[in-house]
């Protein structure tokens, strides 16, 4: 009558998940947030009190304290909104300081605007308020550094629970995470066994971040389980990784979801700022260096009466060709416009003047003209030489660094308004070399997997 059923026996065999149960860290985080929030208010008032003491000779002078108390509510509102009191701010003190400084600057600007609009600026001492803001930023930064150090010392930097479930997928060595085997605990995402669901629920209890690594055919089942468990869950996706996905976009009206693999050019404001920077720097450099440029041009002309400039086609923005300009450093009859042969140390094609300007990278200075034309930018690596055909008949693509050795370019060529993430593309089966046209703005020049020109 009281006999245990085989199903129950099987569930008991896998039910011992107690060693993997973790306490909730939410209270720990909340206490830390509250401590930082109170400390911010105290330090804000102390900073303005000290500023009034230095400037006015009065500790906590009423006008200075009025400015602090007017800014504090705005600061708290912005700080709560921009992540100053978030999980990342507890471990990354530089991030936390940056967010706090942004909140201070915006709140100061807002209060200054309101004071100007209400004609109450005369109620504040500009010098004392400015000094108070500087002291506030300094104290807030020091306090956040101390908080991060205290968390590292007291809790070993652990302020969130992370769990990795290995269900036969690729390895995922998540830092500071507990890893469990789905097979060891009898976790089958396709099963509707209530005992299995209970074991999984216990493992997921108090977890702040869960990652599942499983074969493709089991991802739908794991996705359903994670959604129903009410946890922040992720599933390892090798295809998304190989595509270099940077996000996910849902089209609800189409009932479709896409992987975001590129984010396009810079926004209009950033493009305007970048273009203004390039124009100012390139124009100033050409003006300052004009005597040197003229002297080098004369020397090249006098040596062999050949052309002063060397023009080579390179791949630029949108994988389109542009003509890159350099001082000619090779003999005219041996110029290599296609970059089919790399330059060596004892290259017989290089002239005497060419050897000097290549060694000092002076040959790259005319590229400042490309910058002024908008074909290149000050920031970035060299552009790739267009595809050439070798004697064996195979298509190859030489990179700029291969053509010009590893010398740094003053106006490092790259496609304007292009990328910041390093390219991890592999060599294509056709033998094309990978391109590494990357800059500090966010997108890769080459849109094709191989870097061969069409």
Which CATH number does the domain 161-236 belong to among 3.40.720, 3.40.630, 3.30.300, 3.40.50?
3.40.50
Residue 56 CA to residue 48 CA, distance in Å, equals 11
Domain ranges of the chain: 26-155, 161-236, 268-403
| Both tokens assigned to 282 | 């390139």
Q: What is the pLDDT of residue 448?
A: 33
How are beta strands 209-213 and 233-235 bridged, if at all?
parallel
Q: What is the pLDDT of residue 319?
A: 77
Q: What is the pLDDT of residue 119?
A: 74
What DSSP designation does 442 have?
A: S
What DSSP designation does 34 have?
A: H
| Both tokens assigned to 215 | 């074969």
Inter-residue contact 74 to 57 (CB < 8 Å):
no
Residues 6+ apart with CB under 8 A from 90: 29, 32, 96, 147, 148, 151, 159
Walk along the chain (454 residues) in steps of 10 and give the mean pLDDT of each run.
48 55 84 93 93 88 87 93 90 92 92 80 79 94 93 88 91 87 89 87 89 93 90 91 88 88 82 91 93 92 87 82 88 66 67 86 90 84 48 38 34 35 36 34 34 31
Helix (H, G, I), strand (E, B) or coil at 3: coil
pLDDT tens digits for range 228-270: 888 899 999 988 888 888 888 889 888 888 988 888 777 888 8
Residue 51 CA to residue 65 CA, distance in Å, equals 10
CA angle, residues 20, 26, 28, in degrees to nearest 5: 100
Q: What is the pLDDT of residue 441?
A: 34
Q: What is the pLDDT of residue 391?
A: 39
How are beta strands 395-396 and 256-260 bridged, if at all?
unpaired
Q: What is the pLDDT of residue 221?
A: 92
């Amino acid at each position: 009558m009281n006999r245990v059923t085989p199903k129950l026996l099987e569930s008991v065999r896998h039910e011992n998940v107690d060693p993997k149960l973790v306490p909730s860290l939410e209270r720990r985080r909340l206490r830390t947030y509250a401590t930082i929030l109170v400390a911010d208010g105290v330090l804000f008032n102390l900073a303005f009190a000290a500023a009034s003491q230095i400037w006015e000779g009065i500790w906590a002078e009423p006008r200075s304290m009025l400015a602090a108390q007017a800014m504090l509510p705005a600061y708290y509102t912005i700080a709560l909104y921009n992540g100053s009191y978030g999980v990342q701010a507890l471990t990354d003190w530089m991030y936390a300081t940056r967010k706090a400084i942004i909140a201070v600057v915006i709140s100061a600007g807002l209060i200054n605007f309101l004071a100007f609009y209400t004609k109450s600026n005369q109620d504040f001492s500009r010098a004392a308020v400015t000094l108070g803001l500087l002291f506030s930023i300094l104290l807030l930064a020091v306090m956040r550094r101390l908080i991060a150090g205290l968390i590292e010392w007291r809790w070993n930097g652990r302020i969130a629970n992370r769990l990795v479930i290995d269900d036969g997928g690729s390895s995922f060595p998540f830092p500071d995470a507990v890893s469990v085997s789905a097979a060891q605990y009898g976790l089958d995402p396709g099963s509707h066994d209530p005992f299995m669901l209970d074991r999984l629920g216990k493992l997921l209890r108090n977890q702040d971040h869960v990652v599942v690594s499983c074969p493709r055919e089991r991802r739908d089942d794991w996705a359903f389980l994670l959604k129903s468990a009410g946890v922040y869950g992720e599933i390892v996706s090798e295809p998304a990784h190989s595509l270099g996905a940077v996000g996910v976009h849902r089209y609800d009206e189409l009932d479709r979801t896409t992987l975001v693999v590129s984010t396009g050019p810079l926004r209009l404001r950033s493009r305007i700022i970048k273009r203004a920077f390039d124009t100012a720097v390139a124009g100033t450099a050409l003006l300052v260096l004009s005597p040197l440029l003229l002297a080098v041009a004369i020397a090249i002309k006098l040596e062999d009466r050949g052309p002063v400039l060397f023009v080579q086609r390179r791949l630029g923005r949108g994988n389109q060709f542009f003509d890159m300009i350099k001082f000619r450093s090779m003999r005219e009859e041996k110029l290599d416009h296609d970059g089919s042969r790399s330059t060596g140390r004892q290259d017989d094609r290089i002239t005497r003047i060419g050897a000097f300007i290549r060694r000092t990278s002076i040959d790259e200075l005319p590229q400042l003209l490309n910058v002024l034309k908008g074909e290149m930018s000050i920031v970035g690596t060299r552009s790739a030489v267009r595809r050439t055909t070798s004697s064996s008949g195979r298509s190859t693509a030489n990179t700029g660094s291969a053509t010009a050795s590893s010398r740094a370019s003053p106006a490092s060529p790259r496609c304007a308004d292009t990328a910041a993430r390093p390219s991890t593309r592999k060599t294509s089966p056709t033998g094309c070399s990978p391109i590494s046209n990357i800059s500090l703005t966010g997108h890769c020049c080459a849109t094709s997997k191989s870097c061969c020109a069409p």
